[in-house]
Amino acid sequence: MINRPLRFATFLAPSIFPVYQFIAEYVGQRLGCVTQLVVGESFGQFASGDVDIGFICGLPYVQLTQLDPPPIELLAAPVLRGERYRGRPVYYSDVIVRRDSPFQSFADLRGRSWSYNDLDSHSGYGITRYQLVRMGETSGYFGRVMEAGWHQESIRLVCCGQVDASAIDSQVLEVALRDDPSLTEQLRVIDTLGPSSIQPVVAAIHLPDSLKADLRAALLSISDDREARERLAHGLFERFGAVTDATYDDIREMLAAAERAGFLTIR
């Protein structure tokens, strides 16, 4: 154990922050230590020692593992509630448009406006880039592309007609639809990209191996607690499952395909 609070950081959607807060607190109780959760500012915080445990997207995980040495190590990954996930640590990117728009599939979006949450997002950016590579559309498929900052902002931009479409993390979209049922009258899903390996929980490599083992065990057993299951359900988490580096080969291969095509920036 280390003689200071364990520093957790989330680099993911703000709408799931309360669940990440609960997870950090629960792990602290299990390990008998104080924990803190902050919003991550830079993935360099793992190497600098400013962050110990992180909730991060699969794309930056893959990119961080390319460093020598990698500043992070896998702990576990969530398994989401719902038939579409089939008990696997995966999620989807749902392509949304306004309900009254004429678009019926991704193929209808040529020349239209598109928003993404941020460049480090697999669900909003990486898998969209891969979809365009697969289609052979690397020379300006969309008419306009804008960065929204968060999936929730992309949802708002689509609903108010400021952009035509966006790819939204399925977990974030399902939580948004649950919390604001009126959204079902404003938007619809016209396509689904994925599945992709879901965002993992990682530990900074500087943590002692024994502590990383304890963290992993706490996450893998959290769903054994009935009250914890109820809190996890708010973010659509069913449980946490074991993953290995190879779990993220799908995202690794999508990134490699974009690199081979010389298409790292959607335009």
Tens digits of residue pLDDT in 18-32: 999 999 999 999 999
> Radius of gyration (Cα) for the chain, nearest Å?
19
Q: Are 54 and 202 in contact (CB under 8 A)?
A: yes
- pLDDT tens for residues 60-119? 999 999 999 999 999 999 999 999 999 999 999 999 999 999 999 999 999 999 999 999
Residues β-bridged to residue 240: 78
102 contacts: CB under 8 Å, gap ≥ 6? 108
- pLDDT tens for residues 159-205? 999 999 999 999 999 999 999 999 999 999 999 999 999 999 999 99
Cis peptide leading into 195, omega within 30 of 0?
A: yes
Q: For residue 67, give the amino acid letter.
A: L
Helix (H), strand (E) counts: the chain: 9, 11
